[in-house]
A = this chain, B = another copy of it.
Amino acid sequence: MLKLYFTHKTRSGRVVWLLEELGLEYELVKLEFSKEGLKSEEHRKRHPLGRVPVLEDGDVTIFESGAIIDYILERHKNGGLKPAVDAPEFPYYLQWFHYVEGMIMPPINEIVVQTVLLPPERRSEDALNKALKLLAKAMKPVNEALEGKDYIVGDFSGADIMLGHAAFMANLSVPFGDDMPNLKAYVARIAARPAFDYAINLK
C-alpha cells in the first residue's frame, strides 16, 4: 500500500489532498517537526534533509511533492486529473504545475521564514517586504489566467493540487483583495472541496 510521511502545514498536505480526491487507499505516518520526528536519523534515510512529503510504494521511496503527485497520477490512478499528451490542455497543465514551485513558493517560503521561523530579533522587514512584493507579482498572472474559469486548466486537475494549495497558503499570508477577484473566488472554491478541507485540517 502507498505510505505517506506527513507533517501538518507542509507540502505533504498536497499529497493527502490528491490521494483523497482519487479515493486511493494509503497509510499515513505523521511526523512532528522535532529531532525525534522529521529530523530523526530514521527519517533522514528517507529524505536526507528531513523533510516531507515522502512517499513509499513497495521498493520505491521518493520525495518532492510535485514528483509524488505526477508519480501517483502516472502509476496509480489518473482520475481525469492529468490531461493526455495530445490534449489541448496538456501544455498549460505543465506550465501551471511548474509555475508553482518556480514562481509562487519561493516568496511564500521567505514570508514564512520572516514571520514564523526566525526569532523576532533576526527578522528583516526589508526581506519580508521584498517577498510580499514578489508574491503579489507572481500571483497576478494567475488571477488573469483564472478569468472566466473555475480551475486553472479545464476541469479540476493535478495543476490545481499544486496551485490551489499555494494560493491557499498565499491567502493566509496576505488575503487576496478586490484587485485579485478571480484568485479570491478560486481559493474559496478550493477550500470548499471536501478532500482539500480534510487535508488542510489534518494534524
Chain A positions near chain B (C-beta within 8 angstroms): 48-49, 57, 60, 62-68, 70-71, 74-75, 85-86, 90-92, 94-95, 97-99, 101-103, 105-106, 109, 124, 126-127, 137-138, 140-141, 144
Out of B64, B67, B86, B102, name the residue touching A64 (CB < 8 Å): B102
Q: Return the chain B residue nearest A122 by Cβ.
A: B126
User: How far is A142 from B157 in the complex, measured between Cα atoms in Å?
Assistant: 31
A109 partner residues in chain B, CB cutoff 8 A: 106
A86 partner residues in chain B, CB cutoff 8 A: 75
Q: Contacts A101-B101, A126-B124 known; A94 to B106 CB distance under 8 Å?
A: no
Decide if B64 touches A75 in the complex (CB within 8 Å): no
User: How far is A102 from B14 in the complex, measured between Cα atoms in Å?
Assistant: 14
Q: Contacts A85-B74, A127-B124, A127-B127 known; A98 to B66 CB distance under 8 Å?
A: yes
A105 partner residues in chain B, CB cutoff 8 A: 102, 106
28 A-B residue pairs with Cβ-Cβ distance under 8 Å, sorted by A, are A48-B140, A48-B141, A48-B144, A49-B137, A57-B91, A60-B91, A62-B95, A63-B95, A64-B94, A64-B98, A64-B102, A66-B98, A67-B91, A67-B95, A67-B97, A67-B98, A68-B94, A70-B94, A71-B90, A71-B91, A71-B94, A98-B101, A102-B105, A105-B106, A106-B106, A106-B109, A124-B127, A127-B127
